[in-house]
Amino acid sequence: MRRNNQPGAASPARACAMRHSAAVLWGILGLVALACVSIATARTTEPEADQTAPTEPQSPPAAASQFTAPKSDTPAEPQSAAPAELFRKGLAGKDRGDYPAAIEWWRQAAEQGEVRAMLQLGITYQRGATGVPQDYAQALQWFQKAADQGHPVGQHSAGALYRNGQGVPENYDQAMQLFQKAARQGNAAAQNDIGWLYKRGAGVPRDYVEAMEWFRKAADQGNAAGQYSIGQLYRDGQGVARDYPQAMQWFRKAADQGNTNAQLSLGGLYRNGQGAAQDYGQAMQWFRKAADQGNAAAQYSLSLLYYYGQGTAQDYAQSMQWARKAADQGNTNAQLSVGLMYWSARGVAQDYGQAMQWFRKGADQGNARAQYWVGVLHQKGQGIAQDYRQAMEWFRKAADKGEVDAVVAVGWLYENGLGVPEDSAQAIEWYRKAAKAGSNNARQALARLGKVQ
């Protein structure tokens, strides 16, 4: 709610001078507080193709009950302070962890045109804080107000919410317009995100060459996301000839700034011997850097190195530990791995019930291999009552996604009349599908039935 100034306010000229002086005193503080917002809202592009890293949003904090701020610094009455002073009070509240009071001070400052306060309101609502529930709609409102005043961080931040469909329906066209406004002012995060839209073909025709141009603009300003994105294009040969050494150089630039996707990708190149001699020790170092920052795909990759003893002594317990970290973040490959280790008693005691739980977690998210293993446990009656119909259902889910072992399993159930009526013709059809995909088991089954591929 807008608050009227108290009677007896300073003259317009004197008030202007006061605002200017206060702005000088507190400008640096405000800029420091805002410096990270573009990075926070920038879209990080997808990780290694074979290392799915779901970016789960952080759970918003629970809504606080009605808050009563300390009387000593609570804006309970209409204020006549200059916007810069109100902004400073908001920062002080934030530093105390008193976000509801900070929000109120910033709101008063923003209503008097203080752009830094608008951005702080947007950041706080976007992330959520103690006593301030996450609210993308409110975040968008304040970022848009800053954008309307021409602030590039507000333009980029509002664009990111339109792109992500947060607080507003997904709208790539609106995102592009806002990104372009910010990019024209040299905002590196916006330049990177324009590149992302061209790379994905989101709201514009897919154009890797155009994407590279925008990523380069961002990277030339030291933007780690832009550097990482250039590395991806060189690694995958998109818009440029595939060049692993170039990819490694760009990943290294971003990785040295702490970009976890770049660290993961750099580790992947060392693991695969692409752009440099194969070096599992280097791969482990880079996976570990990203894993220690919570990157789920890197945690899963680190688990695999421990599992196979690559770059380190084989250690199933360590493998389980890192797989579990990734699985708890929703990484479906890690959930599958945890299930397999429970099933095979590697790193933990054998426990079919636990295996089924973890296979099911991955399967419910669409992981075809996990769906196959849910079928296996239903077929064998391990960790659950034997149920061939359920086995067939899960095998079909996986087979429809191209999981070859599941295709063979469907054929086997038809051949033996388990969970479905016996049907040799159906069995042969499924075996042939699997054989064309390279399955030796399917070829052997066809030979057993007197059929050729």
Mean pLDDT of 239-263: 98
Q: Domain 296-365 maps to which CATH number in 2.60.120.10, 2.40.50.140, 1.25.40.10, 3.40.1120.10? A: 1.25.40.10
Domain boundaries, the chain: 19-38+80-134, 296-365, 374-453
Distance CA(77)–CA(395), nearest Å, equals 66
* Residue 26 clears pLDDT 50, i.e. is over it: no
DSSP assignments along 240-306, one per residue: S---HHHHHHHHHHHHTTT-HHHHHHHHHHHHHTSSS---HHHHHHHHHHHHHTT-HHHHHHHHHHH
Same fold, 296-365 and 374-453: yes
Residue with tokens 């530093």: 95
* Residue 15 clears pLDDT 90, i.e. is over it: no
Contact (CB, 8 A) for 254 and 215: no
* Residue 70 clears pLDDT 80, i.e. is over it: no
Residue 223 confidence (pLDDT): 98
Tens digits of residue pLDDT in 126-146 = 999 999 999 999 999 999 999
What lies within 8 Å, CB to CB, of 380 at 6+ separation is: 386
Q: Which band of pLDDT confidence, cut at 50, 70 and 90, is reported for residue 81?
A: confident
Residue 9 confidence (pLDDT): 39
Distance CA(123)–CA(145), nearest Å, equals 13
For the ranges 43-47, 76-80, 184-188, the one whose mean pLDDT is highest: 184-188
Mean pLDDT of 315-327: 98
CATH number of 374-453: 1.25.40.10
Tens digits of residue pLDDT in 409-453 = 999 999 999 999 999 999 999 999 999 999 999 999 999 998 765
Residue 453 confidence (pLDDT): 58
Residue 179 confidence (pLDDT): 98
- Of 44, 60, 123, 63, nearest to 90 by C-alpha is 123
The more confidently predicted of residues 40 and 228 is 228
Backbone Cα Rg of the chain: 28
- Of 162, 222, 226, 224, nearest to 192 by C-alpha is 226
The one-letter code for the residue type at 331 is N
Tens digits of residue pLDDT in 83-104 = 999 999 999 999 999 999 999 9
Question: How many CA atoms are closer than 13 Å to the CA of 94, on its beta-carbon side?
Answer: 20
Residue with tokens 């970009």: 259
Mean pLDDT of 24-34: 37
Among residues of the chain, what percentage have pLDDT more than 90?
81
What lies within 8 Å, CB to CB, of 324 at 6+ separation is: 334, 338
Size of the chain, expressed as the number of residues it contains: 453
Contact (CB, 8 A) for 414 and 420: yes
Distance CA(148)–CA(145), nearest Å, equals 5
Q: Which band of pLDDT confidence, cut at 50, 70 and 90, is reported for residue 80?
A: low
Instruction: Please give the model's pTM, rounded to 2 decimal places.
Output: 0.78
